[in-house]
Amino acid sequence: MGTMNKAVLIHRSKISYPDSAIREMVVWQLPPSSTDRPHGVKYRFHYGLPDGTCLIRYDNETGKGDHKHIGEQEESYTFTSVDQLFADFFVDIAKLRGSTQ
């Protein structure tokens, strides 16, 4: 069996901030692209509180495509690259942390 038929984990990390906020990021390279993920990448980035409250989430679950959640707001996200995904997520965290400290 070749690896072309399986998702390959390319990044996984989880950290806790001094104020107990949690950042978790997971990225997979997928086999041939699909309608939901034409770029061939599946991801789930979460920044939130230990009680499970989601403050920021970027994901591309089946049926919804690329999108992000900022608090209760959900909006479309234009995926261009994994590097840009990381950069955009970090910018949103910095904005939120800067406004709450």
Tell me the C-alpha distance between 75 and 18, whole Å: 29
Mean pLDDT across 86-95: 97
| 101, pLDDT greater than 60 | no
**DSSP letters spanning the chain:** --GGGS-EEEEEEEEE-TTS-EEEEEEEE-SS--SS-TTSEEEEEEEE-TTS-EEEEEE--TTT-SEEEETTEEEE-----HHHHHHHHHHHHHHHHHHH-
pLDDT digits (tens, 9 = 90+) for 4-46: 578 899 999 999 999 999 999 999 999 876 777 889 999 999 9
